[in-house]
């Protein structure tokens, strides 16, 4: 009974760790955020489009379709969402006029889309009619902003601040083997230890030491057998 309880406890701990990692990754991963208005006449007003972190929106059903496209216009991501242009007010107070519903000509849209570094365009459709098109770098890579990795991998020169990050596995401008071997590596015969290039001993030397030690051990054994022959 005790052993069974221990196994159950271990299983619960493992499930908790897996669930914690999943939840943590949901809030730490990069996402694209689309914020704007869609009008009943199928026009779209964009407020902002940017890169953030957090969970994505569930886009599984509706008459509107959003797509992320690569530079060759191949579809990277596609999702469905719905909009409401009617609001149903709360029940009126005593003496107030009862209103069944309020009709609007626009609806607010806030989509949290999965991040893809190779996403170049965004499209929105109402059924099969395209109602919105966005070239993503035009909103992400703009002057006077910190350039995200999305812009740096495209080599977009927009005169914005480009901070180098030692440890992101990319040897960027200003980084060298001396000040960031984590990204730029080390010369042959050196290893990056605590972000410093440290000279390492050649494996051949270790092999030579092992062979010498093995030869000495063999000599000692042979000499031992020579002076102490078996009776």
In tens, the pLDDT along 14-27 reads: 654 554 444 444 44
Q: Where are the domains of the chain?
A: 29-149, 201-231
CA pair distance 4, 142, nearest whole angstrom: 60
CA pair distance 148, 142, nearest whole angstrom: 10
Confidence of residue 144 (pLDDT cuts 50, 70, 90): low
pLDDT of res. 16: 47
pLDDT of res. 64: 97
pLDDT at 226 over 70: no
**What does pTM read for this prediction?**
0.56
CA pair distance 123, 56, nearest whole angstrom: 17
CA angle 52/55/61 to nearest 5° reads 115
CA pair distance 97, 91, nearest whole angstrom: 10
pLDDT at 195 over 50: yes
Type and span of the H or E element at 26: helix 2-28
Q: Is domain 29-149 annotated with CATH 2.60.40?
A: yes
- In this prediction, residues 125-134 reach a mean pLDDT of 96
pLDDT of res. 115: 95
pLDDT of res. 69: 97
Assign 159 to helix, strand or coil.
coil
**Nearest-CA neighbor of 32 among 79, 90, 73?**
79
Confidence of residue 72 (pLDDT cuts 50, 70, 90): very high
- In this prediction, residues 41-54 reach a mean pLDDT of 93
pLDDT of res. 34: 96
pLDDT digits (tens, 9 = 90+) for 82-110: 998 987 676 665 656 666 778 889 999 99
- In this prediction, residues 201-205 reach a mean pLDDT of 62
pLDDT of res. 31: 93
Higher pLDDT, 140 or 18: 140
Average pLDDT, the chain: 79
CA pair distance 72, 119, nearest whole angstrom: 10
- In this prediction, residues 2-13 reach a mean pLDDT of 53
């Amino acid at each position: 009974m005790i052993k069974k309880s221990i196994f159950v406890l271990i299983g619960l701990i493992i499930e908790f760790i897996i669930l914690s990692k999943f939840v943590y990754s949901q809030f730490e991963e990069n996402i694209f955020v689309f914020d704007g208005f869609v009008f009943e006449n199928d026009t779209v007003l964009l407020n902002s489009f940017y890169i953030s972190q957090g969970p994505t929106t569930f886009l599984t059903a509706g008459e509107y379709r959003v797509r992320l496209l690569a530079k060759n216009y191949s579809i990277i991501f596609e999702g469905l969402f719905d909009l409401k242009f009617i609001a149903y007010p709360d029940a009126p107070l005593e003496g107030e006029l009862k209103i069944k519903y309020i009709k609007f000509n626009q609806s607010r849209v806030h989509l949290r889309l999965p991040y893809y570094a190779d996403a170049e365009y965004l499209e929105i459709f109402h059924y099969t009619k395209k109602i919105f098109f966005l070239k993503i770098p035009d909103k992400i890579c703009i002057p006077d902003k910190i350039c995200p990795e999305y812009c740096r991998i495209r080599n977009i020169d927009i005169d914005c601040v480009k901070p180098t990050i030692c440890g992101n596995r990319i040897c960027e401008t200003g980084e060298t083997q001396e000040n960031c071997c984590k990204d730029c590596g080390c010369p042959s015969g050196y290893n990056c230890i605590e972000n410093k290039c440290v000279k390492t001993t050649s494996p051949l030397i270790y092999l030579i030491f092992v062979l010498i030690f093995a030869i000495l051990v063999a000599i000692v054994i042979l000499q031992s057998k020579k002076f102490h022959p078996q009776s």
